[in-house]
A and B are shown apart, each in its own frame.
Chain A
Amino acid sequence: MKIAISSTGRDLESTVDIRFGRCPFFVIVEIEDNEIKSTKFIENPAGKLAGGAGPTAAEAVANEGVEKIITVNVGPRAFGVLQQLGIEIYQGNGKIKDVVQLFIEGKLVKISGATGPMHLGLGAGRRHGRGGP
């Protein structure tokens, strides 16, 4: 089974990025028999989009064949798309490798709704001042 984790960096020592749509990287981890079989890092193509980051990020991880994601915050649009794709969302924060271990042990909580409003991942400026996309 493949899972994707929103990440701040390109290795297992990096921490989970609290934003799903606008994280810079995704770690794709393949788990077999409760062990990490392989890991891969992809750049999030949606990280710098003006609008629609969440759904585009969801599309990117789905195209990697993942069945579950681990992150902290998911916006309403990304949530809707992940749900349509049948991808489950788990909440986890901290070092990537610790979070994966917690996931394997079944200690992460599955989330069943968006955790924040749209554009949360854009930071304090949100879209203000940038006009249209």
Chain B
Amino acid sequence: MIIAITGGKGGTGKSTIAVALATELAKDKNVLLVDADVDCPNDYLLLSVKKKKIKDVTSMLPKFDFDKCIKCGSCANVCREHAILFVKEKYPILVPEQCIGCKACMTVCPTGAILEEKQVIGYIYGSEKDNIKLVTGELKEGFEESSPIVNAVKTHIYNEKEKYDYVIIDTAAGTHCSVISALRDVDYAIAVTEPTPLGEHDLALILRLAKTLGIKTDVVINRATIANNKNSENVAKKFGVEIIARVPYSEEILRQYSKGEPIKHKSIETLAAKLK
């Protein structure tokens, strides 16, 4: 079963819940935790493990053959990422960090002056703790597009996923490309929210996205005791989804969190039980 932990708003506790849930499920099952928040992956910190590099993620990078280039500017014109710049009567200039490797420039070049090279755009790491295997994707510093790394991580786990009872994919915040890439093909999603106006607003966004993608989703309210849950409940009701767990704001949880331990709480046990 592939479960995505998502939520829209940043800082609601997606990673905290993902790691806690993975730890709980791993008591008697094999769990693969995937950190798909590739801009700032930190599940390894919450699990207190080191991450070892498995491989680089590469992307196609154009290389100009200036003997063939006729300085027509077609490559720069077609590049939607502004990764190729063109100044009249000069050779095109490449900004590698903005290139997403789409090859549009190669396709339009009338003289075949663009050759194919590769550049590293991110990394995949592996870690292990008890019954949990953690795979982490990380976007290389300075690069713009995070979804190619998410897709590479998903390709990487594709052949292994059958070995696990649960694959938990921890997504980035927001509803942009990288989150969509992470959500694609999952069996089920959990939207982690908090009872604040921003949490409720973003919950509606992520539930709408999940609905669009046709993914069955339920809601976990984190820090549920800091305010009335009425608005979050109304959002859930509007989208016809269930609130399957409420994690309180408690000193006990904060103590575990501050020690770098996955949080243990009966609300997490209830959540895990519902998934079995």
Contact = CB atoms under 8 A, between A and B. Distances in A.
A56 B81 CA distance: 10
Interface stretch (B48-56, B86-94, B114-122, B124-132): B86-94
Interface in A38-76: 46, 49, 51-52, 55-56, 58-59, 62-63
Contact of A52 (B88, B95, B172): B95
**Which of the four size classes fits the interface of chain B?**
20 to 34
B35 to A, nearest CB: 17
Nearest to A78: B95
A87 to B, nearest CB: 10
Interface string B215-253: 000000000000000000000000000000000000000
B200 to A, nearest CB: 17
Nearest to A133: B144
A85 B176 CA distance: 35
A63 B98 contact: no
A51 B174 CA distance: 18
Contact of B90 (A52, A80, A85, A118): A85
Contacts of B98: 51-52, 55, 77
Interface in B42-84: 76, 81-83
Interface string A99-133: 00000000000000000001000000000011111
Contacts of B16: none
Contacts of A77: 95, 97-98
A57 to B, nearest CB: 10
5 contacts: A51-B81, A56-B82, A63-B87, A77-B95, A133-B145
Interface of B: 10, 76, 81-83, 85-88, 90, 93, 95, 97-98, 142, 144-147, 172-179
